[in-house]
Amino acid sequence: MRLQTVLAACVAVVFLAGGCARSGPAGQEDSPREQASSADFGDLKNVCQKGDAKSAPTQGVTADTIQVGVFTDVSFTKQSHFVDTATVFTKWCNELGGINGREVVATTRDAKLTEVPQRMLEACGEDFALVGGGAALDALGVQQRLQCLLPSFPAQVTMVGNIGSDLQVASLGGASYNRYAGFYGWLMKDAYPDSAGAVGLISGDAAITKVLAAQTKEVLVGSGGTLSYDDLYPVQGVTDWTPYAQSIKSKGVKGLVFLGDFTQLAKLEQVLTNIGYKLDWIDVNSNSYGPEFIQLAGPATLELQNNVADLSGVYPLEKADDNPATKQLSDLFAKYAPDAHVSMPAVRAFAAWLLFAKAAKSCGDDLTRRCVYDAAMKETKWTGGGLTAPADMSNQDGPVTCFNVEKATRDGWEPADFEPDEGAYRCDAPEYRYQGPYPKPATLADVGKSLNDVK
């Protein structure tokens, strides 16, 4: 088995922790080019602006520029969401004057999957902060980041060890809580209560997926489900999914959670459809939220199987015209990166850039790491200008309270009937705190540091 094949399959599973999607939804088209850029974004005012900064208070900050790093695995995955978003944000922001007059310079830190430590070492020597990025094996660099006291505003956090780590401001929920408790509760209690007694889980057979699988089992049972099927598949892929489909059918599985590459899931579903077995629901996860899964699964499968995904509070991209912030982001992409598409990772990345910009603006001329970190941590109802459901940045180990569910159809993705109660979202998600002995996120104390060392 080729190492690259195994690593690629592992990455597909690891990305589930970050809610990664590979491209924009089916049917999405570029918006017309915007004629003039506004300094406002959604409900955020004057995001970028001219100014008269004069000092160079810390690494990566001069009177003229702010240098930040953008982590990505683009050379390996060929997915440029974070690089594209950095291009869009910096071109837009710098055209407006930068942040207090300082030009924002984004340096791509391409980890190429396995080179996280090398890229983190470079970032530690040059960058003011990390913004709007993510790497599949991000925990491999977290202690280096903490050792050099580098703040992070990630779009995606994937590995246990980095989820909820210190000096990081993310809106994806804390390490102590399962972010999908609301979604699974809705599936098994509200929408398909008969499915609760026969839930299945299938995941890629790799060491790096064990914690994710264990946590998923725990929340399924903790949310009222009974696990009737639990299986693994080889991470390099399956030639014939028939034995798996027959096993799912023989055990009467009604709800299935799939942790892995959606190309393999599409093959499994096609076999299930061919043998005439229909489940109440299949959790395809947000990694499938894009046109590729629609195309791979095919009309017959999408007609029979009920494929659903929790977007964890990202406004539906196919409904961009109904949400000013999502529409504005689409317009900015059309203007500054016309060959790129808005995707879920791009939305989260742009929201991270906005958070960084707002926090940095508040620091004025004296732009330090401690100032920008403290300012970001004061945001208790952060929505990225309206791109996402509200998140409390001041509590980095808190639960996710809002969720929204998408359904895959032969015509593309569309919101499911999940009874939203706050706009596009449902914000009554129960708190599910993990009980298992899972690894803890890295802290400043682990490297002999404290927040008082951040200057």
Local confidence band at 13 (pLDDT 50, 70, 90 cut-offs): low
Cβ contact 242:15 at 8 Å: no
Above 80 in pLDDT, residue 11?
Answer: no
The CATH label, of 3.30.950.10, 3.30.70.560, 3.40.50.720, 3.40.50.2300, for the domain at 31-172+316-391 is 3.40.50.2300
Above 50 in pLDDT, residue 1?
Answer: no
How confident is the model over 223-246, as a mean pLDDT?
A: 96
Cβ contact 360:129 at 8 Å: no
Side chain identity, residue 285:
N
How confident is the model over 117-143, as a mean pLDDT?
A: 97
How confident is the model over 253-272, as a mean pLDDT?
A: 96
Q: In the chain, what's the furthest Cα-to-Cα distance?
A: 71
Q: Which residues pair with 403 in a beta bridge?
A: 426
In angstroms and rounded to an integer, the radius of gyration of the C-alpha atoms of the chain is: 21
Comparing 27 with 186, the larger pLDDT belongs to 186
Distance between start and end Cα atoms, the chain: 48
For residue range 307-326, what is the model confidence (pLDDT) as tens digits?
Answer: 999 999 999 999 999 999 99
Contacts of 154 (CB under 8 A, 6+ apart): 71, 130, 132, 133, 134, 138, 168, 170, 352
Helix (H) or strand (E) holding 84: helix 81-95
Rounded to an integer, what distance in angstroms lies between the CA atom of residue 224 and that of residue 436?
A: 17
For residue range 62-90, what is the model confidence (pLDDT) as tens digits?
Answer: 999 999 999 999 999 999 999 999 999 99
Local confidence band at 16 (pLDDT 50, 70, 90 cut-offs): low
Rounded to an integer, what distance in angstroms lies between the CA atom of residue 93 and that of residue 102?
A: 10
Rounded to an integer, what distance in angstroms lies between the CA atom of residue 161 and that of residue 14?
A: 13
Above 70 in pLDDT, residue 114?
Answer: yes
For residue range 349-378, what is the model confidence (pLDDT) as tens digits?
Answer: 999 999 999 999 999 999 999 999 999 999
Q: Which CATH superfamily is domain 181-311+401-415 in?
A: Response regulator (3.40.50.2300)
Contacts of 221 (CB under 8 A, 6+ apart): 227
Q: Where in the chain is the domain with CATH 3.40.50.2300?
A: 31-172+316-391, 181-311+401-415
In the prediction, which pLDDT does 345 show? 95
Residue ranges with strand state E in 260-358: 281-283, 307-310
Comparing 36 with 100, the larger pLDDT belongs to 100
What order do you get walking across the sheet with 412-415 strand by strand? 227-233, 199-204, 255-259, 281-283, 307-310, 405-409, 412-415
